[in-house]
Amino acid sequence: MHFSILTIFPDFFVSPLQEGIVRKAVQEDKVKIAVHNIRDFAVDRHRVTDDRPFGGGEGMVMKPEPLAACLQAVNRTEQPDRVVLLSPKGVRFTQQQAERLTAYRHLLLVCGRYEGVDERFREKYVDEELSLGDYILTGGELAALVVLDAVCRLLPGVLGCEESATKDSFSRGLLKHGQYTRPRLFEGVSVPEVLLSGDHAAIERFRFLESVKLTMERRPELLMGMSFSPDEEKLLQREGLRSRIDAITRGNREKSHTA
């Protein structure tokens, strides 16, 4: 898969792309990443890429000409098939969004800055907008790194263990259960005995229940509309969790109707 990143701060990406899983994926030619400096396409000698908004108001707006010229230069050589603008106005980025983006051969990520990009550029060139959440960053560079990392790790052969991505938190909507490693005893607290039993079915049941309990405690809204297998339903009933899940989902529905 190929990623092209448009930014006014290309050096921002130097260190992150030299570390961890992404670096290994690039070295093994599973992923190609190109960072393009929007300032190289500015039309004045000061390489200005932003200006005051028409109509007045706070802050600055990214100019359309350098953005369009940079994108067009990428199009001539790399031909991306999806242009994504990182913006607080975008759809919230989730695990499901990351999975969806793996279907594209070449993603182009535009890093917004200041008060945003000129609307004319967005309307003509941007296919979709993504946001990390309901807060404001100083620019889209951090968001682009998050999207790149989340998508990369889902690509075949990028992770050492292929099952890691399919069993992550949010992959099926539940938070992931707690994890334990050596030593067996740490500061007087032992690893749960079931994890030492060698009974893989019992371990899977334990981990499933722990995931459900953790989700109920920390992110109960994730349980809305979630479906479970017949065996999972029996387990939830036996542990007294089904009635608690039903109560949580009823409460969430009532809140949404009230809102």
- Catalytic center residues: 88, 115, 153, 168
Residue 107 annotated as lining a ligand binding site: no
Residue 236 annotated as lining a ligand binding site: no
Residue 112 annotated as lining a ligand binding site: yes
Q: How far apart are CA 130 and CA 123, in angstroms?
A: 15
Residue 118 annotated as lining a ligand binding site: no
CB 111 within 8 A of CB 140: yes
Backbone angles phi, psi at 183, to 5 degrees: -85, 160
Residue 139 annotated as lining a ligand binding site: no
Residue 248 annotated as lining a ligand binding site: no
Residue 137 annotated as lining a ligand binding site: yes
Binding site residue list for S-adenosyl-L-methionine: 112, 132-137
Binding site residue list: 112, 132-137
